[in-house]
Amino acid sequence: MVEKNNVSVVIVSYNTGPILPRSIESVLTQAGLCELILVNNGNPPRVIRKLEKLAKEDSRLKLISGYGNIGFAAGCNLGARQAEGKYLLLLNPDCIIPSGALAKVRDELQNHNEAWLAGCRIINPDGSEQSGSRRNILTPMVAFVETFRLYRFFPNLKLFERMNFHEMEKMKMSSIVPAISGAFMMIKKERYESLSGIDEGYFFHVEDLDFCYQVNRLGGRILYVPQISAVHFRSTSDVSSFFVEWNKARGFTRYFRKNFKGQYFPGFLTLISAGIYLRLVTRIIWLALEKLLTGQLFIGRNDAARLQELKSRLLENYASFAADRAEISASEIKNREPYLLIGATGQVGIAILRRLLALDAEVIALYHSSLVDFSHPNLIWVQGDLESDLVNLAALNPKTLIYTPALWLLPPHIKKFASLGINRIITFSSTSIFGKASSRNTYEQKLVSRLVAAEKDIADLCAPLGIKWTIFRPTMIYGIGLDRNVSSIVRFIDKLGFFPIAGPGAGLRQPVNCDDLALAVLSTVALPASFGKSYNLGGGERISYRAMVEKIFTVIGKKRRIISTTLLPLLLDIYSVIFSKQDINGEMATRMNIDLAFDDSDARRDFAYNPRRFLTAGKKDLGILEG
């Protein structure tokens, strides 16, 4: 008879981000849980305070802090030493496990005597199986086959077996596999101790492959339990891409030297190591070039964590927006609730969400994969996309849809929205319809065609369904540091100290603050004059591209260094080809000398649209918050 609550879960966290509370919640609701031991390798003070509060509320949550960032392997061993359960589950901090996961995997492990270690099906947020969910033992030969993709030429030869098995036929029953993902690994504590835990010579990455290798080497087997699927979000920790690549290289070198020394001809492992570090150098150069040309040098996974923290802080400040626009009727806003806000974690979505909450409106916020660590009594977060989750919204009875993602994805679902009871839609297109109309770039031509077709489809579909629609076409959006235009310029300047422009950069711009777009939404929700209309929405200042860049230099406190070159369009076209980045191309540079300011007089007339001037709030408008 299996003891009821005998599984100790160990999570090692380093600046994991807003997914951590969800991971913790998914564990604490499990049957079979003895305790959750969270090893704090380094999290922001704000997160630590929340964790300490949770630990006081639930004695099963135990925090271990004060050791610094000792790495994943050492963190797992530290947590395991303090575990009291018969079984250990090593769980990644960005992993969400379903109800019944602990008990099911534990019972399967108990029923398969030959198995020492067990894992489950690891899936991406979109439901697809992750590549490392079930896999081969990593050998030099397997690495050679993967590196040169020899499996494509000899798909049926065991000698050329692939590393990862996720593309094979989906398993339905628990089965023995060579190796599993380190995102979810369950083992008896006494067995873990007999293996001396995970090798602490690995800081992070590759330690799970080594652990699986040791289990197999000592005669154990590894059980894969596909009946349980855990969602693994990946890359949520505050760690730079370069640091990740460096630790992968160190880990692979250690792995091969530790486990295959003497099994190959002299010098073979040296060649393997040389190849690993050659790949490291190539990879770092590639990453550096890509980030250099996109203005994101040395910004990667760590930036994602910073942005998640920024989003949380921006939403927590929602109350400050309650009374600054008296002309917006709170009663009219309330009459249109609940609001279904799609794209709620993007820049415009966050601006709209905090305005709605400030007016005490009820909001259903749909997000794809990246949840913001923020809660409110009037806010319901729903994870999903248009394809899979509309049916789940029926019980929530939304009346008004505010839609901010790619416009062309909306029309196929308008009839579904109507069936939910939605009779008002406000959505966002772009002035790219005009600004990129004459572009010679194929990607941009397709973008314009999509936007034009989507606007027409929305008008044609909404009318017979009785849905009142409004389309906003903003210019260059900025305001909270989440955009790809102004914020990219900021990052480029911040890291490199200069910014390149094509020629004089004389083209006019009209950058618009995302909060002005949010105000436009609130102003038109119940305004009949805006029904069935499209509006261009620019900012309150027309400014040349060069002057805009100069103002950014001034606001962030950097000496102005602007390099003007006529070669910039060619360089961006070359970059676009090399890195397959169609959205970054020479036409972008050419437009630096073309006016992209548009008439918004109808918006000013119909709903008193009165946008602010560029960067009136200084650094705050760039997402740079103090404290």
Residues 6+ apart with CB under 8 A from 368: 125, 345, 383, 384, 385
**b/e per residue 90-107 (b: at least 16 CB within 10 A):** bbbbbbbbeeebbbbbbb
**Residues 175/224, Cβ–Cβ less than 8 Å:** yes
Alpha-carbon distance of 481 to 490, in angstroms, equals 9
* pLDDT greater than 50 at residue 182: yes
Confidence of residue 279 (pLDDT cuts 50, 70, 90): confident
- In this prediction, residue 298 has a pLDDT band, given cuts at 50, 70 and 90, of very low
> Above 90 in pLDDT, residue 40?
yes
Amino acid 300: pLDDT: 42
Give the Å distances, CA to CA, from 354 to 77, 305, 322, 350: 42, 21, 9, 6
- pLDDT number for residue 327: 59
Structure tokens at 168: 């094979």
Query: Per-residue b/e over 182-201, b at no fewer than 16 CB within 10 Å?
Result: bbbbbbbbebbeebebbbbb
Residue where the block lists tokens 């699927």: 229
CA–CA gap between residue 73 and residue 255 (Å, rounded):
14
- State yes or no: pLDDT of 593 exceeds 80: yes
454-487 tens-digit pLDDT: 999 999 999 999 999 999 999 999 999 888 889 9
User: Rounded to whole angstroms, how far apart are CA atoms 538 and 269?
Assistant: 61
Average pLDDT over residues 347-376: 86
Per-residue pLDDT at 276: 84
Q: What confidence score (pLDDT) does residue 297 get?
A: 40
Q: Is residue 70 over pLDDT 50?
A: yes
Share of the chain above pLDDT 70, in %: 91
Question: Binning pLDDT at 50, 70 and 90, where does residue 3 land?
Answer: low
pLDDT band for 1, please (50, 70, 90 cuts).
Answer: very low
Averaged over 72-81, what is the pLDDT? 96
Highest averaged pLDDT of the listed ranges 14-28, 290-304, 591-605: 591-605
DSSP H or E run through 500: strand 499-501
Asked if 353 and 331 touch (Cβ cutoff 8 Å), the reply is no
DSSP codes of every residue in 359-422: TT--EEEEESS---S---TTEEEEE--HHHHGGGGGGG---EEEE-S-GGGSGGGHHHHHHTT-
**Which neighbouring-strand residues pair with 428?**
472
Mean per-residue pLDDT over the chain, rounded = 88
Integer Cα distance of 96 and 123 in angstroms? 10
pLDDT tier at 301 (50, 70, 90 boundaries)?
A: very low
At residue 304, the pLDDT reads 52
Higher-confidence residue of 294 and 200: namely: 200
| Residue of 96, 108, 106, 88 lying closest to 173 (CA atoms) | 108
CA 136, chain centre distance (Å): 28
Give residue 302's pLDDT band: very low, low, confident or very high (50, 70, 90). very low
Start-to-end CA distance of the chain, whole Å, equals 54
Neighbours of 415 (CB within 10 A): 12
d(CA 101, CA 105): 6
- 9-25 pLDDT, tens digit per residue, is 999 999 887 788 889 99
pLDDT at position 295? 45
Half-sphere exposure at residue 264, Cβ-oriented, CA atoms within 13 angstroms? 15
Pick 467 or 299 by higher pLDDT.
467
Helices within 466-505 (DSSP H only)? 486-496
Q: Which residues contact 480 (CB under 8 A, 6 or more apart)?
A: 310, 314, 347, 350, 351, 514, 621, 623
Burial of 149 (0-12, 13-18, 19+ CB in 10 A): exposed
pLDDT by residue (tens digit) across 197-208? 999 999 988 999
Q: Give the pLDDT band of residue 599 (cuts 50, 70, 90).
A: very high
* CB of 327 closer than 8 Å to CB of 366: no
Number of neighbours of residue 421 by Cβ within 10 angstroms: 13
Q: What letter would DSSP give residue 329?
A: -
pLDDT at residue 562 tops 90: yes
| pLDDT of the residue at 221 | 97
Q: What does the pLDDT average to over 341-369?
A: 90
Integer Cα distance of 40 and 48 in angstroms: 8
The helix/strand count (H/E) of the chain reads as: 22, 24
3-state SS, 126-182, equals CCCECCCCEECCCCHHHHHHHHHCHHHCCCCCHHHCCCECCCCCCCCCCEEECEECC
* Helix H or strand E encompassing 508: strand 508-509
Q: How far apart are CA 414 and CA 463, in angstroms?
A: 11
Question: pLDDT per residue over 133-172, tens digit each?
Answer: 999 999 888 887 877 777 777 777 777 788 888 878 888 8
Instruction: Report whether pLDDT(177) > 70.
Output: yes
